Amino acid sequence: MLPSRGAYLLAFAAVMVAGVLGAVIGFGITDLSSDDEIATFVGTIVGALVGAAGVGIVAVLVLRAMAEWKRQPRPAAGATRVRPRS
């Protein structure tokens, strides 16, 4: 059993939003602390990557937990299946 398509889309959207917000934070920090345009660009890219990577890790862990939660338990070794009487 896998998580639903909606869960995957929500995880993707969360990673994208985190990347954009990380880029905004990285831009703001480097724009205030440096006058160099290259430093501002690098700060923006690093902020986007750090933000997206952090949320991406959490999203993967959540999707794995959802898949494990939906998985049916295996029958115990030596257990026999009981058939319903008709």
- DSSP for 51-62, written as a single string: HHHHHHHHHHHH
Rounded Cα gap, residues 27 and 21, in angstroms: 10
Q: Does residue 86 belong to any structural domain of this protein? A: no
Summarised one tens digit per residue, pLDDT across range 12-41 is 999 999 999 999 999 999 999 999 999 999
Q: Does residue 58 belong to any structural domain of this protein? A: yes
* pLDDT at position 80: 65
pLDDT of 86 above 90 = no
Q: Does residue 64 belong to any structural domain of this protein? A: yes
Distance (Å) of CA 34 to CA 27, 38, 42: 10, 9, 11
Type of residue at 83: R
Least reliable range by pLDDT among 14-23, 55-64, 72-81: 72-81
- Selection from 58, 65, 56 nearest residue 3 by Cα: 65
Q: Does residue 56 belong to any structural domain of this protein? A: yes
| Cβ atoms of residues 22 and 47 within 8 Å | yes
State how many domains the chain has.
1
Give the mean model confidence (pLDDT) for residues 67-71.
81
Q: Does residue 37 belong to any structural domain of this protein? A: yes
pTM greater than 0.85 (yes/no):
no
Q: Does residue 39 belong to any structural domain of this protein? A: yes
Q: Where in the sequence is the domain holding 64, given as residue range(s)?
A: 5-70
